[in-house]
Amino acid sequence: MPPSIPQFSQLRQWLAPATGDDVRAALTRKRLDIHDLAALLSPAAEQFLPEMAARSREITIQRFGRTTQIYAPLYLSNFCINRCAYCGFAAGNPIPRRKLTLDEAEAEAMILYERGFRHILLVSGEAPKTLGVDYLEAITLRLRDKFAALSIEVQPLDEDEYDRLFKAGITAVAVYQETYDRRVYDRVHLAGKKCDYDYRIDTPDRAGAAGYREIGIGALLGLADWRAEGLALGLHLQWLRKRFWQTSFTVSFPRLRPAAGAFEPLVTVSEKNLSQLMFSLRLFDPDVGLILSTREEARFRDGMLGLAPTRYSAGSCTAPGGYTSGEHDGEQFSIGDLRTMNEVCAMVAAKGFDPVCKDWDREFQV
Ligand code: SF4
């Protein structure tokens, strides 16, 4: 059943009438509804950013403690049958293509293990005939005893496929809608299965039905009005929470980065805008995990620590085989924060927070 998210144009209308009084009211409420979220995302809230940051910090520390989860992506393959205008992996882009063998993927994972990572995100382009469920199951079985958390960010799968990978040892699924504006969605998804907006938006439901511990949703910022994307994310989250109350959820807010294909953002989303978006989601859903990846620069990530995000990637490479070779050829996008895991953990500790590499164990699973 698809989530009931109104048309993007309607979401924008919800944002328009918000006033300073609406923002003040939202800042004092314990439980926020979707109209409060609209007020916090609205232009009227911009003058309240310091108050929003303070409240967001208070809630974040109350719910998550003084901790920051640390993870790294492991790119398995950059083959992709889709043509997303904004992505370096898009079919047709003249980049060196590579799919890691299972031995190579395991070697990359062991480099991350030696660096101290216990949560890795397995990422690939969407090319099911090149890298399908058999491969994902096989690599999961090889890695499951080493890593406490194994997440996937791969092509959307059917429920029985999610079920198979869950049984193999995958703990979490991330699938981003990219944009909830259907018109923009159609404009930037030029070819391939990803053109099907409805199949994609149904994907978190299929993963939820398979019983995953955690599901991640997100919007790629730079495609459409970020305020309306924030409202759509809130509604999507609310929908998923009602259906899968035992599941944890995370939201990502990747901003577009330079990549092969030289796509230019369709809208500008500043660091200030991204901060407002993260504070708003934190106030709306105190328990949601918020991810701030190495797409963002070190200065911004350092400043946001403890204010809303709960999970940082570190020492990332977005090219398959990049941890072994040290090369970035064939990467999905360029990284903003180039620090190593140790450097990111040192920053987290210097700010009085604990960097957490493991917060889950398979033994907990019943
Ligand atoms: S965003 Fe994903 S599906 Fe689209 S081209 Fe890139 S890897 Fe392929």
pLDDT at 32 over 60: yes
pLDDT at 128 over 70: yes
**pTM of this prediction?**
0.95
* Residues 229 and 11: beta-carbon distance below 8 Å: no
The protein residue whose alpha carbon is closest to atom 4 in ligand 1 is 84
Structure tokens at 181: 């504006």
Percent of the chain surpassing pLDDT 70? 98
Task: Give me the domains of the chain, ranges plus CATH numbers.
Answer: 64-361 (3.20.20.70)
What b-and-e string marks burial along 279-312, b requiring 16 or more CB atoms within 10 Å of the CB? Answer: bbbbbbbbebbbbbbbbbeeebbbebbbbbbbbb
Q: Give me ligand 1 centre to Cα 314, in Å.
A: 22
**Is beta strand 83-84 parallel, antiparallel or unpaired with respect to 214-218?**
unpaired
Confidence at residue 281, expressed as pLDDT on a 0 to 100 scale: 98
> What does the pLDDT look like over 193-213, one tens digit per residue?
999 999 999 999 999 999 999
* Residues 105 and 116: beta-carbon distance below 8 Å: no
d(C-alpha 329, C-alpha 96), whole Å: 7
Confidence at residue 329, expressed as pLDDT on a 0 to 100 scale: 78
Q: Give me ligand 1 centre to Cα 137, in Å.
A: 21
> What does the pLDDT look like over 45-102, one tens digit per residue?
999 999 999 999 999 999 999 999 999 999 999 999 999 999 999 999 999 999 999 9
d(C-alpha 362, C-alpha 6), whole Å: 38
> What does the pLDDT look like over 230-255, one tens digit per residue?
999 999 999 999 999 999 999 999 99
Our mutation pick for probing the ligand 1 site, out of 77, 79, 89, counting the most ligand atoms within 8 A of Cβ, is: 89
Our mutation pick for probing the ligand 1 site, out of 124, 194, 318, counting the most ligand atoms within 8 A of Cβ, is: 194
Residues 6+ positions from 31 with CB-CB distance below 8 Å? none
Confidence of residue 328 (pLDDT cuts 50, 70, 90): confident
Q: Give me ligand 1 centre to Cα 335, in Å.
A: 17
> What does the pLDDT look like over 259-294, one tens digit per residue?
777 889 999 999 999 999 999 999 999 999 999 999
Confidence at residue 2, expressed as pLDDT on a 0 to 100 scale: 65
DSSP label of 195: G
Residues contacting ligand 1 via CB (< 6 Å): 80, 82, 84, 87, 89-90, 125-126, 194
Q: For the chain, give the mean pLDDT.
A: 94
d(C-alpha 228, C-alpha 288), whole Å: 19
Mean of pLDDT values over 345-358: 93
How many other β-carbons are positioned within 10 Å of the β-carbon of residue 150? 25
Q: Which atom of ligand 1 is nearest to the CA of 124?
A: 7
Residue written as token pair 């090149």: 130
- Residue 9, amino acid: S
How many other β-carbons are positioned within 10 Å of the β-carbon of residue 22? 18
Confidence at residue 365, expressed as pLDDT on a 0 to 100 scale: 63
The protein residue whose alpha carbon is closest to atom 7 in ligand 1 is 125
Confidence at residue 31, expressed as pLDDT on a 0 to 100 scale: 93
Q: Which atom of ligand 1 is nearest to the CA of 178?
A: 1
Percent of the chain surpassing pLDDT 90? 86
